[in-house]
Structure 1
Amino acid sequence: MVDQVLRALQPYFERIPSVSRPVGHVPFNQKLMWTIAVLLLYFVLSNVPVFGLDPSSIDIFQQYRALFAGATGSIIALGIGPIVTASIILQLLVGAGIIKLDLTNPDDRAAYQDFQRFLVFVMIALEALPQILGGFLKPNPVIAEQLGVSLSFIAFLIFIQLFIGGVLIVYMDEVVSKWGIGSGVSLFILAGIAQSIITGLFNWVTPPNAQMPAGIIPRWFWIAQNYGIDALLSADGLAFLMIQGGLLALMTTVAIILLVVYAEGTRVEIPLAHAAVRGARGRFPIKLIYASVLPMIFVRALQANIQIIGMVLYNRGITIFGEYVGSQPISGIMYLISPVRSPYDWVPSLVKSNPYFADLPTWMIGLHLLIDALILIAGGILFAVFWVETSGMDAKTVANQIARSGMQVPGFRRSPQVLERILQRYIPKVTIIGGALIGILTLVANMLGTIGNVSGTGLLLAVSIAYRFYQDLAKEQLTEMHPMIRRVLGEE
C-alpha cells in the first residue's frame, strides 16, 4: 500500500529541484575546487547568526553537535540532522518491507532517491518547528519591539531562516557528492570535528565559573604554574592530571586514531583478472569496517530525535519519561538512553559530583552504561546491515558491478551469480563484525573522553572520514593519470 502511494507520488517528487549530475568525467582539479568552495561556504554559513533569536535559547542538538555539524545559533543550526533522520526512516521502511523496493533495480533506486529528497525537506520543517513551538528557540522581544512586530512574526522569521539553512546544506551535500570528492555530509562532519579538536587543544579562554583554560595545552601551563611537582605525583594529583588535566582524553584520542586507521587497513582481498585483457589483474578489497562508521551516525541520530521528543514533552509539563536541565536528561528513561560521553557519565564518584545526580543510585549509573553499550553495538550491527543493503554495497550489486567491468575471479566461470556466491561468503559476516567493532570502539572512546569533547562517535567519524578522503584523493589522482582505470571502476 505504502509503496503504491510512493509510486503514485513519484512524478511530483521528481519535480523537486536537484543538482544535475556531470556528463562525462569531471577533472580532478575541478572536483577539488568544488569541494573547497563548498567547505568555505559551510564555514561562512556557520558564522551567520539567526536574526531575531533570543540569547537565552537552548540548543537541543548541543550534545550531538559533533555528529550533526552546523553551529549553534547559526542558520545551519540543523546541520545534517534532517538528511540523516530521513535516511534512517527510509532505511527502516525499506528494511521492514513496508516500502517494497528492489534497490538493485535502477527505477526503484531512482524512486528511493526521489522520495528521500522529499523526506529530507519534510524533516527540515519537523526538526525546526518543535524547537520553536516548544520554546527552545525563542524570539527576541527587544527586536520585536524595535521592529514593531509580534513575537510570532519573529518566530516565523526564525523558522524561515532555519529552513533555508537546511535546504542549503542539502544542496551543498549534492554538489560535493556529484561534482566534488567524497560526500558533503562527511565533509561537514570532518570540518566541525577538526575545528573542535583544534579548539580543545589550544583554546586559552577560561570558561565562566571555571579556574583552568578550556584547551588542554593551556591547561597544562596553568597546572604547572599553580601546582607543585610533589602534589601532582601523588595519587590524587595523577587522577587530577588524567581527568581534569586532559591526559586521559589525549591518550584516548591518539589510541582511537591508531585503532581506526588499523581497522580501516584490515581487509580481505579477492583476486580479479580481466576476461579480455591478458595480464590485467586486480583485487577487490572487503574491509573489516565494511559499512564505514556511518551506522554510528544513524544510531546517535536516532537517540537525538528520541531525546528531542523527551525535551518537548518535558517542556509541556509531561515528566513521566524524565526531567531535563537545559538539554541534559537527569532522570527517567530519557536519562538511561542518553549517550555516555566521558568518565563523568559513568564513574559513580564523578557522576555524583554533579549536584543534579548527587542522589542517583549507583545501580542506575551502571544500567545507563549497559544500555548505551547495547544501543551502540546492536545499533551498529543493525544499521550496518541496512546501509550495505540500501547503498549498493551488498554482494549482488557488487557482483554485477565487477561483471560489467569485465573482471572475474581467476579459476571461476565468468558470471555475476558466481561472483555473488563468492562475495556472499565474506560481505554479510564482515558487515556484522565491523558494525559491532565500531560500536565497541565508540563505547570505549566515549567512556574515556576525547579532546574537545567531540565524543567517541565524533572522533571515530572524523578519523574514518579523513582516512577515506585520503583514499578518494589517491583514487582520483590515479584515475586522472590512467583513464582506463575509470572503466574498470565503472565510472564511465
Structure 2
Amino acid sequence: MGWKEAAEPVLTRMPTVRRPEGHVPFKRKLAWTAGILVLYFFLTNIDLLGAASGQDIYGQFRSVIAGSQGSLLQVGIGPIVTASIVMQLLGGANLLGLDTDDPRDQVLYQGLQKVLVIAMTALTALPMVFAGGILPAQQSLQLGGFAFSSTEIKLLMFAQIFVGGILILYMDEVVSKWGIGSGIGLFIIAGVSQRLVTGFVQPAAGGFFFDWYRIITGDIAVGSVFSSDGLNTILLGQGDLIALFTTLLIFGIVVYAESVRVEIPLSHARVKGARGRFPVKLIYASVLPMILVRALQANLQFIGQIIETQVGMPSVLGVYGSGGEPVSGFFYYTSPIYSPQDWMWWTAGVDQAWWMVMIRVSIDLAFMVIGGAIFAIFWVETTDMGPDATAQQIQNSGMQIPGFRQNVGVIEKVMERYIPQVTVIGGALVGLLAVWANMLGTIGGVDGTGLLLAVSITYKLYEEIAEEQMMEMHPMMRQMFGGGE
C-alpha cells in the first residue's frame, strides 16, 4: 500500500470550506472579502491572554508575514507560507507522486498542505511560547475560579496562538473560494497599508507630516541645509525625503512592470475572425514568490534566536547584542538589510567594520536575486503557468498561434521562447527592488518585500475586480470563460 492509500482517509476528511456550486455575484464576493478583512483587523487587536509585551521575533518580517505581535494572529500567514515552500519543493522534485490534474490527487494535495499548515502552526508557536519569545505577564493567573501556574499560562498562550493560526488558514480559504483574490494577499495589503498610513499621518513623533510640521516650526533643528548634518536630517533623519522618494518610486516601478508584457497573438481554429492575445508579463510569476524567499530568511533567523536563547551559540555562528539581533558571525551575515542604518557604516548606528557590512549586503542581495529567480521558476511550474501547461490550456480553448500548426507541442515551443526567460528576469528584478527599498528605507519602515507585495497584489486585485464587473455586466462572457451560470 502506497502513502496515498494510507493517508487518503485522513486527508480527504480534513475540514474544508465548501466551494460555491454556481456563480457568486460580485456584490456577494465583495461582502465576503470585506467581512474577512474586518475579522482580520478584529483578531489582530485581541491580545493574548496572560502574555506580556516583548520583542517581536519576526521583527521587520512582520509586514510580509502579516498578523500582529502579541495578538491572536501572532503567527500570521507564516505557517501557510512555510507549508507552501515545503509543498513546492516536494512537488517540484516530484517526490509526492501526485498529479494535480487528477481530481483525486488534487484533494490529497490540498489535504496534505492543510495538515502541514497545522503542523507548522504548532511548530512555530511552541518555541515562541516555551523558548522565551513571548513571556507570561505574571507567574500565576487567576481567571474566574481557576488558578493557572506559569506552565499552564504558557499552555494557554500556545492554545490561543494555535487557534489563531487555524483561523487565518480558513479565512484565507473563504476569500479564495467566496471572495475576490486570495486571503494571503488581502492580509498583506491590510498590514502594509496600515503601516504606511501610520507612517504618514500618525499624530506623534515619527509620522512624516508631523515631523515636517516640527521642522517647519523649528521644533527640530536642521541647521544649514548644505551641511552634512542638515542634509542627513532632511534626507535620512526626521525629514525622510529619501524614504518618501523610495516609496513612491517603488509604486511607480511595480505598476509599470506589471503593464510591460509580450503579447503572443492567438486566433480561433474554427471561428473565423475570433482573435486574442496571450500576455507574458515582465513580472510573470508575480511578486508572491518573494514571500517564500523572505520566509526562508525569517525561519533561518528564527532558528538562530532559538539556539541563542536555549543552548548558547558558538561565536562563529553568531554573537547577539543587547537588542537580540546578531552583530557578527553566520547569522549576522545572513540577516537581511532592513534600513539605511544597517549598512551605512560611516554613521554612528553601525558598529561593524565596513567589510563586514559589505559582505552582509552582498549576501542579502545574492539571496534575494537568485532566490527570487529560483522560486519564480518553482511558482510557475507548480501553478500551471509553465510553457507545457499554458500550451495545453490554449489548445483546449480551441485557439492557435497564427502561422503555426494547431499542435500542443508547437505552441509549447513558442511559449518556451518567452516564459522561462521572463520568469527568471522578473524574479531577479523583484528581488533587486526589495533589497534596494530596504537599503534606502520606506515610509512607516515597511519591509521592501512587503511594499512590493502590497503594490503588486493591489494592482492584480484591481484587475480582478474590473474583470468581475465585466463578467457581471456581460453574462455571456462568463459562460465563454467557464464561469458557470
Partner secondary structure for residue 121 of structure 2 = helix
8 Å contact from structure 1 (residues 79, 166) kept in 2: yes
Measure the CA separation in 2 of the matches of 1:129 and 1:78.
Answer: 11
Measure the CA separation in 2 of the matches of 1:160 and 1:233.
Answer: 56
From 24, 48, 51, the counterpart of 1:50: 48
Name the counterpart of 1:232: 225
Name the counterpart of 2:234: 241
Task: Give the drift of 1:60.
Answer: 0.5
Task: Give the drift of 1:404.
Answer: 2.4
Deviations 1:396-447, CA, capped at 9 Å, x for gaps: 2222222222222223333333322221221111111111111111111111
* 2:477 maps to 1:485: yes
8 Å contact from structure 2 (residues 199, 443) kept in 1: yes
What percent of counterpart residues are identical? 49
Task: Give the drift of 1:394.
Answer: 1.2
Distance 1:233 1:385, change over 3 A: same
Name the counterpart of 2:256: 262
Task: Give the drift of 1:387.
Answer: 0.6
Deviations 1:6-29, CA, capped at 9 Å, x for gaps: 553133111110111111211111
Name the counterpart of 2:151: 152
> Structure 2 matches for 1:338-487, cutoff 5 A?
338-350=335-347, 353-354=348-349, 357-358=350-351, 360-487=352-479
Name the counterpart of 2:136: 139
Measure the CA separation in 1 of the matches of 2:33 and 2:442.
Answer: 28
8 Å contact from structure 2 (residues 139, 150) kept in 1: no
Task: Give the drift of 1:158.
Answer: 0.6
Q: Which amino acid aligns with 2:328?
A: S
Measure the CA separation in 1 of the matches of 2:288 and 2:325.
Answer: 25
* 2:63 maps to 1:70: no
Partner secondary structure for residue 141 of structure 1 = coil
8 Å contact from structure 1 (residues 405, 489) kept in 2: no
Measure the CA separation in 2 of the matches of 1:438 and 1:6.
Answer: 37
Task: Give the drift of 1:487.
Answer: 4.1
Distance 1:230 1:315, change over 3 A: closer
Distance 1:83 1:327, change over 3 A: farther
From 81, 84, 87, the counterpart of 2:81: 84
TM-score normalized by the length of structure 2: 0.94
Partner secondary structure for residue 11 of structure 1 = helix
Partner secondary structure for residue 283 of structure 1 = strand
From 315, 318, 322, the counterpart of 1:322: 318
Measure the CA separation in 1 of the matches of 2:103 and 2:403.
Answer: 31
* 2:31 maps to 1:37: no
8 Å contact from structure 2 (residues 196, 446) kept in 1: yes
Name the counterpart of 1:209: none
Partner secondary structure for residue 346 of structure 2 = helix
Name the counterpart of 2:198: 199
Following superposition, which runs of at least 4 residues in structure 1 exceed 6 angstroms of deviation?
none
Question: Would you say how many aligned residue pairs link Structure 1 and Structure 2?
Answer: 477
8 Å contact from structure 1 (residues 10, 115) kept in 2: no
8 Å contact from structure 2 (residues 84, 113) kept in 1: yes
Measure the CA separation in 2 of the matches of 1:292 and 1:201.
Answer: 27
* 2:169 maps to 1:167: no
> Alpha carbon RMSD of aligned pairs, Å?
1.8
From 270, 275, 281, the counterpart of 1:281: 275
From 295, 299, 305, the counterpart of 1:305: 299
Measure the CA separation in 1 of the matches of 2:265 and 2:482.
Answer: 17
Q: Which amino acid aligns with 2:81?
A: V
Q: Which amino acid aligns with 1:70?
A: G
Higher helix share: 1
Q: Which amino acid aligns with 2:257?
A: A
Task: Give the drift of 1:169.
Answer: 0.4
Task: Give the drift of 1:291.
Answer: 0.7
* 2:103 maps to 1:109: no
From 328, 332, 348, the counterpart of 2:329: 332
8 Å contact from structure 2 (residues 223, 229) kept in 1: no
Task: Give the drift of 1:145.
Answer: 5.3
Task: Give the drift of 1:488.
Answer: 4.2
Measure the CA separation in 1 of the matches of 2:44 and 2:187.
Answer: 11
Measure the CA separation in 2 of the matches of 1:371 and 1:486.
Answer: 48
Measure the CA separation in 1 of the matches of 2:5 and 2:482.
Answer: 29
* 2:4 maps to 1:13: no
Q: Which amino acid aligns with 1:231?
A: S
8 Å contact from structure 1 (residues 38, 176) kept in 2: yes
Measure the CA separation in 2 of the matches of 1:16 and 1:279.
Answer: 48
